[in-house]
Structure 1
C-alpha cells in the first residue's frame, strides 16, 4: 500500500482510503467499529466534533 488517508469524518463514521500500484481500497467505519485495508487493521475509538481517534494494528 503506497498511501493511507482519512478522507472523510462525519458525525458517526470515518472513511479511510488506501492506494498503491494499481490498487485503490476504501472503507467506512462507525465509532467502535473495526476496519481493515490490505493487512492493516484499525479501530475507530472516538468520533467527535469533526475529529476521530483511530488505533492501528496488524491484521491477525
Structure 2
C-alpha cells in the first residue's frame, strides 16, 4: 500500500472524511478491481491516518 502511484496497482479514492463522533477515518471507493467494475465502498479507520500521517486522497495497493 502507498499514497503514491505503484506500477500495476489498484486504487482507492477518498470520498468522505468522517468526524470523530462518526468513527473517524475515511470512506473510500474501489471503482475497479483487476479491470472489473466494482464500485465497492469501504471505511478505513483512523489507523490509516496514523500510518500515512494524513488521509490520502488516493491509496494504491497490489498483491505481492
Q: Greater CA radius of gyration, 1 or 2?
A: 2
Q: Which has the higher helix share?
A: 2
Normalising to structure 1: TM-score of the pair? Answer: 0.46
Greater relative CO, 1 or 2 (CA 8 Å, sep 6+): 2
Q: Which has the higher strand share?
A: 1
